[in-house]
Structure formats: structure tokens, C-alpha cells
A and B are shown apart, each in its own frame.
Chain A
Amino acid sequence: MSERAASGDRKANGVAKPSRRKLMVYAPLGVAALGGLGFWAMLRGMQDGSFNPRGVPSVLIGRPPPEFALPALEASSLPALASADFRGLSGPVVVNFWASWCAPCIIEHPHLMALQRQGVPVWGVNYKDRARDAQSFLSRLGNPFSRLGADEPGRVSIDWGVYGVPETYILDRGGIIRWRWAGVITTEIMSQDIQPLLQRLSRA
């Protein structure tokens, strides 16, 4: 009887203190849980490709590409690429910066082929490559490009703000850069970013 009274008393008397102590325990736990959740979301995003920790927003979004004129790839029948080609387009185009020495470029290559089969013009910039190597890359894996400029010195790529291959841009029919992806094109990037954007731009 007296024990029950005492415990009831304790509850009534010290209501402020235990709740504050609880806060001291749960606040750090809450912070840790939030951090863990954020970290988990980041890792998941990295896995499916929707989060790119190295992603740097392109300055060129909403702007036309820089003025340039690249030579065609030596001994290839593909037309060259210059900024003039982006005037008077009939629909959106995809511009892909790649090199034969770049392993991720091999990984994303099937997606470029798929875009080409779909009828989207895919234009390439061959970055710091040997013409022979680039040519054998294309004949081995297939050629998705309807235009291909060779940027052996890499200067035009710098003008585009490219900081590594592969990098992919989408331009609308007005020749304005709408999207840039610095990294490999994954299946998720294709379905979540590239395809919806291309659809929207071809309708517009």
C-alpha cells in the first residue's frame, strides 16, 4: 500500500526531470537516425544512378553551346560537328562526349545505340582519342552517332564545361542546352531523365 503511494508520488512530483532525461537520450538518437536515413538515401541513389556525388550543375543549362567547329574523325565517313549544326534543328538532340579509352563509355554505349534506333539524333565528341582507336571502338560495338567531331586537344570540351568522359547533354530544337549528365548513362537515367525529357522536348 505504502509502496504504491510512493511510486504514484514519484510520478507526480518528478514529471519534468525524467522527460528531460528522455530528451537527452532521444535527441542524439534522433539526429543519428536522421543522418543514417540520409546516408541510406544517398547510397540508394548512388546505386540506381539518380544521385551523383560528383554532379556539378552545368553553367550552360538554358544557354546555347559555345562556338566551335570540330574536324570529323579521321578516315570515318561521319560528318563533323560544329556549333552551326545546332541551328534549325527539327527536334531534340543528344550530345555525348566519349573516348575509346574510357571504360564507362563502353557500359553506356548500348543506351546510345537504343536512342539512335529510336530515331533521336545522337551526336558525338570524341575526346582526346586516337582516330584509329575511336574507329575500332565504333566498328566493334556499333556506331550510334550521326555526327562526330574529334576533339583531340580537348579544348572544345573545356568550352562545354566537360570535366571527364562520358558526359551527355540534351539540347532542344532551338539549340539550347537543357540537360547535362556527367557520368555513365544507366538504365535508370534513361527511363527517369532522358526519355521523359526527350518526349517533352519533341512535343514542345
Chain B
Amino acid sequence: MKRFVFLALILALPAAAQIGDTNYRLRDAGQETRSREIGKELRWLGCQNQSIEDSDAPLARDLRRIVREQVEQGASNEQVMRFVHERYGDFVLLRPPFNWSTLLLWATPALALMGGLFAIWRTRRRALPAGPQELTEAERARLARLQGDTRA
């Protein structure tokens, strides 16, 4: 039994990794949740697929702190996002905005789908008339010649 409890504790250990940075938590639970929501939307530029909430880099910690400070001072989610966006640009947003420079990025799934559909349409169109067909005169002649060849 003791061994089982020990094992269960060991197995539960990775959950502790999710607790993360407890230094700058806001006392107000609602504000903290909101800060976390904002942080999840912001990319930590040092490790490009981590949000600032997931990264342990000192600068990510600073950004988390800034988000919390602003939320505490009553800033809206949009205001905080704008603050960070003004400094770090489009790339900091894990959900990039839709504008001219990100058009291709957003259009890629649709373009890929259209490309795939086009490819299917083309191959099917070509495949359709491939039913049993009469041999042409030239083919029949060639066949006869080939058969003659093997027999010879």
C-alpha cells in the first residue's frame, strides 16, 4: 500500500510542472485568470512556440508581470494586448491579426484545400473515359505483329 501511494505521488509529479511561476500571482482570482488568458495569447519571442505563460525565461517573466500590473490597474484585455503588440509587433500575437502581410498565412489552408480539390477533379476527369474501349486499327495491327513475333 505504501509503495502504491509512493508510486502514485511520483506519477502525479508532472502536474507540479503546471503550477509554474507563483511569484507574481494576483490575489484577485478573476484578474489572475484574465491575466493568464492574455498571457496565453502572447508569444514568448525567445522560444517561438511558447506563450509567455509557459516560458521560464526572465524576460517572459517580466512580461507576465507587466500583464498582471496592467490588469490590476484595470486595463482591458485589448489594452494589455495593444501595449505588448506596440512593442513586439504582429509576431508576438499567437493568433496573428488579419492584414495584408498575413493574408497568405491565413489563406494557406483554403488555398491548399482548393489545390487538393483541383487535383482530385483533374485526375477524376482523366480517369472517367477509361472504360473498355475498342482497339484502334493501328493497335490491332501492332498486336497481331507482336503475337506473330512471339510465335516466330
Kindly identify which residue among B87, B88, B138, B149 contacts A2, using a CB–CB cutoff of 8 Å.
B149
B131 in contact (CB, < 8 A)? no
B149 to chain A, nearest CB (A): 6
A163 and B138 form a contact (CB under 8 A): no
B142 and A13 form a contact (CB under 8 A): yes
Q: Given the complex, which residues of A lie within 8 Å of B81, measured CB to CB?
A: none
Kindly identify which residue among B46, B63, B138 contacts A158, using a CB–CB cutoff of 8 Å.
B63
Q: Given the complex, which residues of B lie within 8 Å of A154, measured CB to CB?
A: 58-59, 62
Q: Given the complex, which residues of A lie within 8 Å of B46, measured CB to CB?
A: 54, 163-164
B142 and A159 form a contact (CB under 8 A): no
Kindly identify which residue among B48, B59, B62 contacts A54, using a CB–CB cutoff of 8 Å.
B48
Report, as a range, how many residues of chain B touch the other chain.
Answer: 10 to 19
Assembly CA distance A117 to B87 (angstroms) = 32
Q: Given the complex, which residues of A lie within 8 Å of B59, measured CB to CB?
A: 154, 158, 163-164
Assembly CA distance A59 to B91 (angstroms) = 10
The B contact surface, by secondary structure, is helix
Q: Given the complex, which residues of B lie within 8 Å of A6, measured CB to CB?
A: 142, 145-146, 149
A128 in contact (CB, < 8 A)? yes
- Closest residue of chain A to B61, judged by CB? A154
B86 in contact (CB, < 8 A)? yes
Q: Chain B 120-152, CB within 8 Å of chain A: the 1/0 string?
A: 000000000000000000110010011001000
Q: Given the complex, which residues of B lie within 8 Å of A128, measured CB to CB?
A: 58
| A163-B142 contact in complex given A58-B89, A59-B87, A59-B88, C-beta closer than 8 Å | no
B145 and A158 form a contact (CB under 8 A): no
- Closest residue of chain B to A182, judged by CB? B45
A56 and B58 form a contact (CB under 8 A): no
Assembly CA distance A128 to B149 (angstroms) = 88
Kindly identify which residue among B87, B91, B145, B146 contacts A159, using a CB–CB cutoff of 8 Å.
B87
Q: Given the complex, which residues of A lie within 8 Å of B146, measured CB to CB?
A: 6
Q: Given the complex, which residues of B lie within 8 Å of A56, measured CB to CB?
A: 45, 88-89, 91
